[in-house]
């Protein structure tokens, strides 16, 4: 519940992040379309290997846990609206918490399957191998997702 409250406080920052990340997706997509994606294979800043311990896992968990995915924002605001309309009773807040927890679990389930189930991991590896064979389609998909993210950041009306 605290993550939702914190996320609402940073909604302006979140919308700016959608625009910036969308622009990055568009740029990467254009590099794929122009067959210049090899220029992305450089290392910048600290390596993720430095985050391999438990402190790094906690830092990455907080970073990703406090981020509001674009698809979750309407659900979060609907649940918060339901909680506000229900008053101060703890039942409504716990129902919202359970709903968001189930949403997060369902969002993470494909990743868990890819890690734990060997056939799912092979399917994911097969899908990722297509990106080398189909740079045009990968680039077009990234450009489309980037434009969607930019549009969402510019035009989404989220009222807290």
The answer to whether residue 92 sits within a structural domain is yes
The answer to whether residue 84 sits within a structural domain is yes
The answer to whether residue 151 sits within a structural domain is yes
The answer to whether residue 160 sits within a structural domain is no
The number of distinct structural domains making up the chain is 1
Q: Annotate 73-142 with DSSP letters as a single string.
A: HHHHHHHHHHHHHTTT-HHHHHHHHHHHHHHHHHHHHHHHHHHH-HHHHHHHHHHHHHHHH-HHHHHHHH
The answer to whether residue 138 sits within a structural domain is yes
The answer to whether residue 6 sits within a structural domain is yes
| 129-144 confidence digits (pLDDT tens) | 776 667 788 889 999 9
| 53-72 confidence digits (pLDDT tens) | 677 777 777 776 666 666 66
The answer to whether residue 50 sits within a structural domain is no
Q: Which residues of the chain have pLDDT under 50?
A: none
User: What pLDDT is recorded for position 25?
Assistant: 93
Give the structural domain span for 100: 2-39+64-155
């Amino acid at each position: 519940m605290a993550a939702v409250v914190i996320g609402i406080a940073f909604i302006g920052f979140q919308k700016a992040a959608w625009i910036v990340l969308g622009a990055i997706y568009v740029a990467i997509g254009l590099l794929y379309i122009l067959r210049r994606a090899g220029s992305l294979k450089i290392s910048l800043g600290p390596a993720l290997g430095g985050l391999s311990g438990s402190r790094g896992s906690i830092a990455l968990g907080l970073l990703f846990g406090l981020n509001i995915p674009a698809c979750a924002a309407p659900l979060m605001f609907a649940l918060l609206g339901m909680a506000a309309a229900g008053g101060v009773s703890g039942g409504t807040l716990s129902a919202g918490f359970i709903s968001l927890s189930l949403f997060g679990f369902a969002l993470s389930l494909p990743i868990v399957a890819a890690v734990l189930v060997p056939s799912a991991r092979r399917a994911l590896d097969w899908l990722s191998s297509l990106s080398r064979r189909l740079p045009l389609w990968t680039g077009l998909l990234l450009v489309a997702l980037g434009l969607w993210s930019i549009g969402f950041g510019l035009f989404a009306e989220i009222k807290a």
